[in-house]
Structure 1
């Protein structure tokens, strides 16, 4: 995970200031930390939608 002080100042810690490696957008901290169960659920849902 990566973060800059400028992003923290702009969005505060609850905002989209955190970037997970391998993703192309910033997220709030709890989303950036991730949840393996939630990530698996979302992946299954996307696969089923195809």
Structure 2
């Protein structure tokens, strides 16, 4: 939850160029949602992530 909150707080401070690049990289995913990717992967039970 901490990464998600930090991303939500940071979002308004990103430059317009940065916002555009994030939109291109993340498609429809929000920065807050993307910020928890590593946490989700750490919880993934497959051998690759353990």
Judge same fold: TM > 0.5, yes or no.
no
Bigger strand fraction: 1
The higher relative CO (CA closer than 8 Å, separation ≥ 6) is in: 2
Bigger helix fraction: 2
Q: TM-score, normalised by structure 1?
A: 0.28
